Structure 1
């Protein structure tokens, strides 16, 4: 019965919001998931909210990462264009291509992620492609102009970022398919929680890998509004703040090593362009600390700014000339070991507060002083 009711919703509505049909059925008790469940089984219903919370957080963090990468690429192109104009080397002016995102896996997670990236980043349809064993099941995305096919290596050759949304049992075969096609600068973002980072690095023979890790610490599932679609939920200020990297609300905590990976991934993007590290620091300051600059216009000297020693050892930073790029960072090592940036993230509460504001602002929600969440510096074990 529930399947029929859901299927009667027009494809257009499902494209706009994968969970809109849930909202339409919200007041129809007999069509709810919980209806008919035996009383002794009701204690397990919190798992439904937790599952939706994990999905919501995963899509939110992936969207935030893509927003940052897109803005970084835009800044890089503007800086390189300016430099080309100054030297009159117009033939070297970089193109204006959007960030190219590929998704491997067209199941529930892959579809939800695609909807979120399309609507909340937003990524143009022509800059998003999906590879899945059943591309015929993705007509709703094809109608939007998204290429859906089954050719993983082709997708990897095209994309700047690849999201792995497959089953753990499928991953070894996928890695064999794509490892020879992976460019060094291509970022692999894995949602396959059952495969640890060292194993994934070995399977892919690749170091530019990001893998968020989540830990459920308490049963606060009601906050996740399981009757809402992901994109609708992320427009709710309460839910969005709960997805913020330092916010423990909802009982799901993100390992902050992911944040380190995000920063070092951004640096790798610049290193691939052979950008001097001094210019990279300028870009990172503009990208992550711009709102902080606005708050201290009267006393610019006291503003917090990134320094080279925040990302590399002090000895390495001392020998780093202004025009020399940062070294290439192994993102798998960054997420498994202590780095110079580990101390920065854990010790700077000012930056943690600023990042929370930046995160919410990137989704179009501005926090007031009263709305500021309690900051959690806890980091689940690897």
Structure 2
């Protein structure tokens, strides 16, 4: 329900000169970018949560004993630096859709007193960036570009190698961010706005509600160009290499890692898959590392630790795997929608909505 429907003087468009009306599409584009950014961050945290929730069981099966205290302490911890519009929307989306418990989500901002609504929800809000980074498994940078150099100086000494830094600061490219942080475990989604912009992103729905709308949710799929906003698919590669790094940090052998990834992330099937998934794609070692390296890697060895910045800036074995297999693209699209509780009907595969510019 639009509360402003009959109140013209309170609408955003009121008072804008007629010659400036052509620029109103920027409002919808901005909202689309925020929705996509929150959706992709949520999907990433869902995958991390699912993986970390399963890892203790896998480690136990391999002979390492883990008690309930260890499992509980391995809860995904997420930090957000920046309490502006994006930081607030991201916090609410993660809290409701992952879902991340309030005690596992913290926000560091220069004005924590403005986040009273979040503190009432049980989220710790303060201004101490280095403490936040030392605590979190994933840190989202939702600050202004002008603030980022100072923040990097603050957090670099407390940044653990396994901590994933996820940057929304579009003006700072990955090589610069890597240099500022002296860190390689970095993810940064890159969005491109195309000419064919269709504003179906809504105006009054909150982000959480918007992502329950099948049309909007499908438009946020990694391979979709609907809505005029395209995600660089290198981000998706970075996500999977980040998952591999987590398994490596846990000491999980490569064959168990592949089995785990196949069970967790390729188990959502398209309608045209054969019964039992006999024709479904399966991850193999050569999908992630070079054939030469595969030959020299004993089967019981763990994967190497990957530089996520290099993954997002250059071609990888997984790049070729993704581009060559439409079946894998479809399975990942079905996984994406299923993680938000939306089922894809036949005819809505990733192939149908793929735009070559996303590659």
TM interval, shorter chain, is over 0.9
Deviation at 1:272, TM superposition (A): 0.7
Change (3 A) 1:92 1:287: same
Deviation at 1:294, TM superposition (A): 9.4
Distance 2:329 2:146 in 1: 37
The equivalent residue for 2:203 is: 226
Distance 1:78 1:26 in 2: 53
The equivalent residue for 1:17 is: none
Equivalenced residues, count: 357
SS at match of 1:335: helix
Is 1:359 matched with 2:340? no
Is 1:72 matched with 2:48? no
Deviation at 1:370, TM superposition (A): 4.0
Is 1:247 matched with 2:224? yes
The equivalent residue for 2:10 is: 31
Which among 102, 123, 135 is matched to residue 146 of structure 1? Answer: 123
The equivalent residue for 1:281 is: 258
The equivalent residue for 1:95 is: 71
Deviation at 1:231, TM superposition (A): 1.1
SS at match of 1:223: coil
String of CA shifts for 1:85-136, please: whole Å, max 9, x gaps: xx6x456983223210000000011001001111111111000000000000
Which among 39, 42, 54 is matched to residue 33 of structure 2? Answer: 54
Confirm or deny: 8 A CA contact 1:53 1:221 kept in the other structure. no
SS at match of 1:224: coil
Distance 1:237 1:94 in 2: 38
Confirm or deny: 8 A CA contact 2:119 2:125 kept in the other structure. yes
Give 5+ residue unaligned stretches, structure 2. none
Change (3 A) 1:380 1:238: closer
The equivalent residue for 1:63 is: 42
Confirm or deny: 8 A CA contact 1:106 1:132 kept in the other structure. yes
Distance 1:227 1:355 in 2: 30
Q: Bigger CA drift: 345-354 or 168-177?
A: 345-354
SS at match of 2:146: coil
Deviation at 1:24, TM superposition (A): 3.0
Change (3 A) 1:119 1:23: farther
Confirm or deny: 8 A CA contact 2:78 2:106 kept in the other structure. yes
Is 1:375 matched with 2:356? no
Confirm or deny: 8 A CA contact 1:131 1:155 kept in the other structure. yes
Change (3 A) 1:293 1:109: closer
Confirm or deny: 8 A CA contact 2:130 2:155 kept in the other structure. yes
Is 1:156 matched with 2:114? no
Confirm or deny: 8 A CA contact 1:100 1:161 kept in the other structure. yes
Is 1:325 matched with 2:289? no
The equivalent residue for 1:188 is: 165
Deviation at 1:218, TM superposition (A): 1.8
Confirm or deny: 8 A CA contact 2:43 2:336 kept in the other structure. yes
Output the TM-score relative to the length of structure 1. Answer: 0.89
Give 5+ residue unaligned stretches, structure 1. 1-21
SS at match of 1:189: strand
Aligned-residue Cα RMSD (Å) equals 1.9
Output the TM-score relative to the length of structure 2. Answer: 0.95
String of CA shifts for 1:277-325, please: whole Å, max 9, x gaps: 1111011111210123997564655432110000000111122222100
SS at match of 1:129: strand
Change (3 A) 1:64 1:300: closer
Confirm or deny: 8 A CA contact 2:212 2:340 kept in the other structure. yes
The equivalent residue for 2:287 is: 310
Confirm or deny: 8 A CA contact 1:46 1:219 kept in the other structure. no
Confirm or deny: 8 A CA contact 1:63 1:121 kept in the other structure. yes
Change (3 A) 1:359 1:300: closer
Confirm or deny: 8 A CA contact 2:280 2:327 kept in the other structure. no
